[in-house]
Amino acid sequence: MEKINKYYKVDIMYHVLYGISLWKGEAMQESRLFKIVYYLLEKGKATAPELAEKFEVSVRTIYRDIDALSGAGIPIYTEAGRNGGIHLMDDFVLDKTVLSEEEKQEILVALQSINITQNTGGSQTLQKLAAMFHLESGNWLEVDFSRWGSKGFDNEKFELLKSAVIHNSKVKIHYANSYGVIGERVVHPYKLVYKANAWYLKAFCTKKQDLRIFKLNRIINLENLNETFQHRHFPEPAHAPKEKYHPITLRFPKEMAYRVYDEFEKTQIQQQENGDLVASAEMPEDAWLIGYLLSFGAQVEILSPTYLKGAIAKQAKLIYEKNKP
């Protein structure tokens, strides 16, 4: 007969606690009993007042819950004294049967999405979990941080920054700002952010002495300084001043649909009877906007504001003069 004092099977716990939860009038997925078990697995131990505050019940109710868990065969016990509290036995583990087939697939998908750069070490974990779940993880998801034609450095850059974020390591970067000026910065990397089809680094800039956001594609060179920094907390202001944006309306021929739908939301686009696409959005009127509109070449017409037409025409003339044969 298999002993269960080392590995307490969750399928037994599930059925016993399901009966208890029905008796107490609680839905299984919201059962406080399971939440207590998960909390103790994560924290190691807790006091009765701590659990009472966490689950918004009385201390007496927590002790009743502990008795119910113990009666269901869960190895839970209490210790008195200054360093005491409520514990689970060290060898208590959750059996995989607590996860539904859908939840198992979700875990594999999450790991697969993380394991998207080379040498992350995640593939071995993915294979072990797939074998344990008796599921085929497949290979349906691929994400590559690099731009077309430059696979090496972009992925290397992401890996270095990821490591710096995890280990609180200072990084020296050469960064091209929106005006094309390349400068050297020493930054404390806090977080990698993916937004609007691009990766960004949220970091404390020692030069500006403030939190800054750097677009990864504009980081020309970077070096891990192997010096740690003290992580600071930068709360988002409740009413942060927003960058001033202006309404822009553009018309594109139908041949540009592939790019228009890439870069504008569906609600911002209207299709004309002849197939042309009119896109309206708020954009910052700066050097970036001029370059962005010029990137469409002759395939964009500015409908409003009319004064923007002159700025584009002037820049296009300068380009012609510089490159005419």
Three-class SS string for the chain?
CCCCCCCCCHHHHHHHHHHHHHHCCCCHHHCHHHHHHHHHHHHCEECHHHHHHHHCCCHHHHHHHHHHHHHCCCCEEEECCCCCEEEECCCCCCCHHHCCHHHHHHHHHHHHHHCCCCCCCHHHHHHHHHHHHCCCCCCCCCCCCCCCCCHHHHHHHHHHHHHHHHHCEEEEEEEECCCCCEEEEEEEEEEEEEECCEEEEEEEECCCCEEEEEEHHHEEEEEEEEEECCCCCCCCCCCCCCCCCEEEEEEECHHHHHHHHHHCCHHHEEECCCCCEEEEEEECCCHHHHHHHHCCHHHCEEEECCHHHHHHHHHHHHHHHHHCC
According to the model, what pLDDT value does residue 270 have? 93
Peptide bond between residue 305 and the one before it cis (omega within 30 degrees of 0):
yes
Nearest residue to 103 via CA among 10, 8, 4:
10
Burial (0-12, 13-18, 19+ Cβ within 10 Å), 289: middle
Residue 111 has pLDDT above 70, yes or no: no
| Digit-coded pLDDT (tens) for 114-157 | 554 444 444 555 566 666 555 555 555 555 656 665 556 677 88
Task: Give the least confident one: 15-19, 84-88, 263-267, 277-281.
Answer: 15-19
How far apart CA 72 and CA 13 sit, in angstroms, is 7
Share above pLDDT 90 across residues of the chain, in percent, rounded to a whole number: 19
Please provide the average confidence, as pLDDT, over all residues in the chain: 76
Q: What does each C-alpha distance from 125 to 32, 36, 171, 232 come to in angstroms?
A: 31, 28, 29, 32
Helix axes 101-114, 122-133, angle to 10 degrees: 170
243-263 pLDDT tens trace? 567 899 999 999 999 889 888
| Other Cβ atoms closer than 10 A to 26 | 15
Other CB atoms within 10 Å distance of the CB of residue 21 = 19
- The number of beta carbons lying within 10 Å of the beta carbon of residue 161 is 25
pLDDT of residue 128: 60
Taking residues 154-182, report their average pLDDT. 85
Per-residue three-class SS string for 214-243: EEHHHEEEEEEEEEECCCCCCCCCCCCCCC
Residue 15 CB coordination number (10 Å): 11
Among 150-154, 182-186, 314-318, the minimum mean pLDDT is found in 150-154
Task: Convert the pLDDT of each residue in 43-95 to its tens digit.
Answer: 888 999 999 998 888 899 888 888 888 877 778 888 887 778 898 877 665 55
Nearest-10 crossing angle of helices 32-43, 10-23: 140
pLDDT score for 280:
93
Residues 6+ apart with CB under 8 A from 170: 164, 186, 187, 188, 224, 225, 227, 228, 229
Q: What is the pLDDT of residue 71?
A: 76
Q: What's the pLDDT score for residue 131?
A: 60
pTM, rounded to two decimals: 0.45
pLDDT at 11: 42
Nearest to 117 by CA among 170, 172, 157, 169: 157
